[in-house]
Amino acid sequence: MMREVIASDGDEATYHEINFKELKCLKLYYLQNLKSFCSGNYTLKFPSLDEVYVGDCPAM
């Protein structure tokens, strides 16, 4: 039961950066309980990302 792709560590005062430097395509399908990609205090970088697909994720 996936609710988040990147979960918060509970320390909202700390700044976090996550770099997905090689990720080119992100597909999220049939995730009935997925509410968010990331709910924490993060900066996400996707410098190589070309495509994003999200389908049948009704909680988002």
pLDDT tens-digit readout, 9-44: 666 666 778 899 999 999 999 999 988 888 777 889
Which domain does 33 fall in, by range?
14-55
pLDDT at 56: 93
pTM equals: 0.72
* Position 60 in a domain: no
* Position 22 in a domain: yes
Where does residue 56 fall: left (phi above 0), alpha (psi -120 to 50 degrees), or beta otherwise?
left
In three-state secondary structure terms, 5 is: strand
pLDDT at 26: 94
Give yes or no for residue 48 having a pLDDT over 80. yes
pLDDT at 13: 61
Number of domains in the chain: 1
Instruction: Tell whether the torsion through CA atoms of 11, 38, 35 and 1 is positive or negative.
Output: negative
